[in-house]
Amino acid sequence: PQPRRAMAAATMSALRAPAPAPSVGGHRRSRSVIARAAPARPNFRVNLGKGTVSVEDPREEAAKRALAAATAGNVTGRPAESVRPRDVKLKDNGNVSIAAMTEEDCVDATKLIMELFFKVRPQDFLAKDRLKAEQAERVYGGLVQGVVESEDRLLLAAKVGGKLVGVAEVSLPGGARFGAEKFEPKAPADAPYVSDVAVAPNQRGRGIGKSLLRACEAAVVAKGCAAMYLHTKVDNDDALALFEKGGYAEPADAKAGLTQMQIAQRGTKGGPLASLGLVEVGHVLLKKELRASDYN
């Protein structure tokens, strides 16, 4: 799937949210947690992308986080509820923990996305730091919004030894695709769509990507979905291999409906111009039929 965001590590200290209040079991105790949650001095949040500065009351923000932690078990209907935390044995006998992404995961998730996907054009080299900072703010804000507010996205995090090493995102039926709606052939809007699966380079080859993808599938099956779609670049052989081994295939109707231009684009795969990124090779739409019995 195609990345949409990248994160500048240099901005992380400024973006890092205060540590959440500990989870508590009842409202009586939660009120005491909220009361001592933060000092009264205000914080300033700078949005470099929009050129704005806003004032935040840390006591109010900490109270919101503490209340959310205290009442988490009572919240119903959130997309993340369909993500069942799991520990998966990897090919090398290690373990990876996969669960719904939390607000506290967003800093490390954004660092990972930055490491993997942020690129700057040669002509923009002198503005690289500014562009990183602007993109950093957008990515971090988008992840937090997805975790805290969104009703049409699933965000998952994979951790090894407590360290975040992979992320995945699913757009639920009818949800925003963040640019992927422009990819051809188009994925049906009424089906879940894998927007991203990303794993840290030093953790690849262990089966973490496969485990993240399967966790995404289990989550949408729990919501009653029977199929899932995704796109990948025609020349992204590693991604194609991952998805095909996982049971994804190009739908016959999508393949039959390719235009002459799309067929020509695919023909440039492996050529020198494609290797240099000077021509667009196009995308492959993949689909997997999901059976609830496979995810019990």
Nearest-5° Cα angle at 244, 241 to 111: 55
Per-residue pLDDT of the chain (296 residues), as tens digits, is 444 333 333 233 333 333 333 332 333 333 332 233 333 444 555 555 445 555 556 665 555 455 444 434 333 457 888 999 999 999 999 999 999 999 999 999 999 999 999 988 888 889 999 999 899 899 999 999 999 999 999 999 999 999 999 999 999 999 988 888 889 999 999 999 999 999 999 999 999 999 999 999 999 999 999 999 999 999 888 889 999 999 999 999 999 999 888 888 887 776 766 666 666 778 999 999 999 999 97
Name the pTM for this structure.
0.71
Architecture of domain 78-173+185-294: 3-Layer(aba) Sandwich (3.40)
- Could you tell me the CA-to-CA distances from 141 to 15, 48, 75, 136, 150 in Å, in that order? 9, 12, 22, 8, 12
Residue-wise pLDDT tens digits, 125-175: 899 999 998 998 999 999 999 999 999 999 999 999 999 999 999 999 999
